[in-house]
Amino acid sequence: MRKLLVPALVVLFPSASILNAEDWLQWRGAGRANLSAETGLYTQWGEDGPPLAWMAEGLGSGYASVTVAGDHAYTSGNFADSQSALAIDTQTGKVVWKTAITEGAPKHGFEGSRTTPTIDGNRLYMVSSDGKIVCLNRESGDLLWSRDFSDWGGKMMSGWGFSESPLVDGDWVICTPGGEKGMVVALNKTSGADVWAAELPDYGDEEGVNGKGLRDGAGYASVVVSNGAGVKQYIQLVGRGLIGVRASDGKLLWRYERVANGTANIPTAIVDGDHVFTSTGYGTGSAYLKLVAAGDGVSAEEVYWLDGKEFQNKHGGMTLVDGYIYAGHGNGNGLPICVNMKTGEIAWGPERAAGSGETSLIYADGRIIMRRQDGIVILLEATPEEYREIGTFKPAYQKGKTWAHPTIANGRLYLREQDKLMCYKLKG
């Protein structure tokens, strides 16, 4: 792989309330857009990739990503006696504390935890795969409060366990129990007390576009915020499709069922003004929606639909950069692709790129870092003109299926791999 010549770039993003512009405080970062605002990166990326600063061990099994604030990184893992939250020293890679968030070994979780901790000041918020939201002191790891999803009749659409990363919005924390008494709920972030609970109607038997019946319960995505059609709302992908819930009181505003499948609805939606882009795998497809005012509420109108052969993202996630979506396409293939979000036209791809399997990714400083299921990391230019691969490298450690999404914080690239966490230097 050739060494990089990185031009000077100025990248501007909307401001966000965060501890440090270079910290990564929640799943997919500020605004859940998966866009790092850092610049001056990749100066340490040579022919064999960036230098490894350290490799942490003892994280338990898991596909959870990491969040970072200052000198601590946070993640979750499964152990023989618990599912636990962990804090790691970002300078040394040593585990600072470990706190159980389940009583005994988790009954669900598909070989590992997946909840990425949300950082809010001195607190962490997480969802266990068994269905519990917890709040921890992030310095000590002490449990401050917890709520069991059974309070709302909590339910998953399928049996791989809850995977959500909670959203902190002002004084509230938002999560998705998936139950009849609360599909999405808002809680007081300090105490865990109820604010409101959004319920869905009984939709009966519905068949998805791929012939698989739709299911009740939570999906595997995380909530995002939209102000589409002038109404603040929380958008979430659940078993019955993509829904919009009014932020002020939890009223269900709209539902778009076409994107749902009966196996697992996973990718976090992309919000852009009055529009929303959503996709799922298992042969389903993708949609571009416009949110419009409808009486005292909001409706979601389909602008276009892409079937599964054109574009489907299973669980590697999607990232919007300058009007174009970058992602992995195909159910289990994760082939790199670039899609014009407004038109649905394929700019390039799907590409038979290095590595194999599902593809997760992150944007920073004019580049896209893609991580394939076999562990291979690809660096490419974030351009719709053509697929421009700059280089690839194989990380120091890989085991099983590499599904944890990459994180960039404070000039470093974090790659979680089951029991280990690798930290690579992206700048001097």
- Is pLDDT above 60 for 3? no
pLDDT band at 416 (very low <50, low <70, confident <90, very high): very high
SS3 annotation, 277-306: EEEECCCCEEEEEEEEEECCEEEEEEEEEE
Nearest of 173, 89, 76 to residue 123 by alpha carbon: 173
Percent of the chain with pLDDT over 90: 90
Rounded average pLDDT over 139-157: 98
CA–CA separation, 238 vs 266, rounded Å? 8
pLDDT of residue 12: 33
**Domain locations in the chain as residue ranges:** 96-103+127-136+146-408
Mean pLDDT of 134-161: 97
Prior bond of 177 cis (ω within 30°)? no
Give the separation between CA 51 and CA 46, rounded to whole angstroms: 8
**Is the Cβ–Cβ distance between 427 and 43 less than 8 Å?**
yes
User: C-alpha distances in angstroms, 216 versus 108, 153, 157, 182?
Assistant: 18, 11, 6, 12
Query: What is the reported pLDDT for 104?
Result: 86
Can you give the pLDDT at residue 8?
A: 32
The residue-averaged pLDDT of 158-174 equals: 97
2.60.40.10, 2.40.128.630, 3.90.76.10, 3.40.50.2300: which CATH number matches 96-103+127-136+146-408? 2.40.128.630
Max Cα separation, the chain?
58
Average pLDDT of the chain to the nearest whole number: 93
By the 8 A CB rule, do 142 and 101 touch? no
What does the pLDDT read at residue 428? 79
Q: What integer is the mean pLDDT of 255-283?
A: 98
User: pLDDT-derived band of residue 111, with 50, 70 and 90 as boundaries?
Assistant: confident
> To 5 degrees, how large is the angle CA 352–CA 65–CA 250?
105
Instruction: Please report the pLDDT score of residue 13 as a whole number.
Output: 34
pLDDT of residue 106: 78
pLDDT of residue 21: 45
Where is average pLDDT lowest: 2-16, 308-322, 338-352?
Answer: 2-16
